[in-house]
Amino acid sequence: MKPVYIINGFLESGKTSFIRFTLGQPYFQIKGTTLLLLCEDGEEEYDAKTLRAAKAEMRLIPDEAAFTPENLLAIEKEVNPERIVIEYNGMWNMKNMKLPFHWNVEQQITCVDASTFPEYYTNMRSLVAEMVRKSELIIFNRCDNVRENLGSYRRNIKAVNAEAAVIFEDAEGEINEIFEEDLPYDLQADTIVLDDKSYGIWYLDLMDHAERYAGKTIEYVGMVMHPKGFGADAFVPGRMAMTCCAEDMSFLGYICKYNGADKLKERSWVKVRAEVKKEFLPAYKGEGPVLYAKSVEACAKPANEIVGF
């Protein structure tokens, strides 16, 4: 069986850049020839040096009518590759793709230009659906100016292919976005109760999306800390987290306003029930989340003092 890797997407969706980057990686400098089948002339090109380093032979399929098992077999016989990479034309319906019987699709990846996705999704929805239906990975690039829409883009994809992994990239690289539907708690609950598994997610999401939590009530167990400069009516109930390894521990928590904070023993454990507000604090150098305690009760330390993400 010949392993086949399909990279699809509309014109200028980043397919060529993705394949060119992949071919240039050390892990792709492997035994045997790679057959690279191009199904359109894109804006980006493949340079001869990259192709030589990857031991890749490139062939162009001029139109959809020429993408037949017979023509593909003729190219395979000529090149005798160990593997095949197909840069598939997004305007060719994936339902019409027919491969030689011994070509086995190992992976399918779809590249999407986030800045033009709404237009394609509105006007060519059936093509988009067929493109992503069997893809394992959907890569949205050029997300710099559409970050507020990424949640809806992800839902559009998941409606067609619930199993696909969806990642977003901007000019700085991959965007580590947490979407509301992925949160391990109900944002609409009267009180959002956090446990060891959800505290880290809440801490990160509150940092990026304080507006989601403004006016909501949070309840969790935390360790008392008294940072300098916050006054007698404030403390930080937080948790220790392993950010990358056992030697790299950080205390994660937000300032909590509480009349009687100065009477709480440093590093003691408390159950906090508090309302989240977004307001200016000098420590934030702008607006940020501030907790206003409704109740603070002494409690036993949790079985696992360290939280994860």
CATH number at residue 222: 2.40.50.140
Provide the token pair at 248: 């790299």
Query: How many Å apart are CA 49 and CA 233, to the nearest integer?
Result: 65
Closest CA to 121 of 88, 160, 94: 160
Amino acid sitting at position 34? T
> Is the four-CA dihedral 139, 145, 146, 150 of positive or negative sign?
positive
Question: Is the pLDDT at 279 greater than 60, yes or no?
Answer: yes
Name the most confidently modeled range: 101-115, 150-164, 237-251.
101-115
Q: Are residues 164 and 190 in the same domain?
A: no
Q: Are residues 38 and 120 in the same domain?
A: yes
Q: Are residues 270 and 292 in the same domain?
A: yes
What does the pLDDT look like over 28-70, one tens digit per residue? Answer: 777 889 999 999 876 568 888 888 888 999 999 999 999 999 9
**Where among 142, 158, 177 does a domain terminate?**
177
Q: Are residues 48 and 88 in the same domain?
A: yes
Inter-CA distances, 129 with 90, 115, 167, 213, 236, Å: 11, 18, 17, 34, 48
**Where among 126, 155, 177 does a domain terminate?**
177
Instruction: Tell me the residue range of the domain where 250 lies.
Output: 183-307
R_g (Cα) of the chain, nearest Å: 26
What does the pLDDT look like over 199-211, one tens digit per residue? Answer: 999 998 898 888 8
Q: Are residues 154 and 193 in the same domain?
A: no
Question: Is the pLDDT at 285 greater than 60, yes or no?
Answer: yes
Q: Are residues 80 and 36 in the same domain?
A: yes
Q: Are residues 194 and 158 in the same domain?
A: no
Q: Which residue has the higher pLDDT, 272 or 176?
A: 272
Domain of residue 130, CATH code = 3.40.50.300
Tally of CB atoms within 10 A around 122: 9
**Domains of the chain: total:** 2
Q: Are residues 146 and 225 in the same domain?
A: no
